[in-house]
Amino acid sequence: MLRYHDREWGVPVHDDRKHFEFLILEGAQAGLSWSTVLRKREGYRRAFSDFDPEKVARYTGKRVQKLLGDPAIIRNRLKIESAVRNARAFLAVAEEFGSFDSYCWRFVDGRSRLNRWKAMREIPATSRESDAFSKDLKRRGFRFVGSTIVYAHMQAVGMVNDHLVDCFRYREIRRLESGVIRALPAGRRRRTERPQDR
């Protein structure tokens, strides 16, 4: 969780494969803790073809059955089947808009929403934008994309900056808007908050 918080959470993403990865992981997380999913992330990477939506979209019922026996992932039939269905919908969106990235960032007018939370209890589970994004994804055939899951996606891919204002990452991620970011130095300490278990 620390490594994820310090290096990934809230960093603006503009890579379709990374968007797809988070959509799979966030769908898998529904009803569970995010830490559970992070522990299985490498298992998901292997099971879902390094998060390549074109490959996942071609998964057959036989492949789904095989994944149901894979202890490295969360073995829930609905979640696994939804990942395959979502891969197909993901490719359709990318075809329509040029990329999934172009599509999703429209919901925040192409710029990260900069929040100013001072306490974890202030961070919402949903927003007006996540409601609209979720509704549109569902209309396009996606599953496991309720507003709470979509808001988690927006947090993960930097569409919103929900680090607390006194967290060192809040300022670093703000600088990303102007293209200035450095890798976290080894041993750098550390956070004042973490991504909530969603």
Q: What is the DSSP letter of 183?
A: P
Coil vs helix vs strand at 35 = helix
12 with 175: CB under 8 angstroms? no
| Closest residue by Cα to residue 141 from 90, 81, 76 | 90
Q: Is 117 a catalytic residue?
A: no
Q: Name the active-site residue from 34, 59, 103, 170.
A: 34
128 Cβ contact list (under 8 Å, min separation 6): none
Q: Is 34 a catalytic residue?
A: yes
118 Cβ contact list (under 8 Å, min separation 6): 164, 165, 166
Q: Is 26 a catalytic residue?
A: yes
- Angle, to 10 degrees, between the axis of helix 77-97 and the axis of helix 16-29? 150
Catalytic annotation, residues: 4, 26, 34
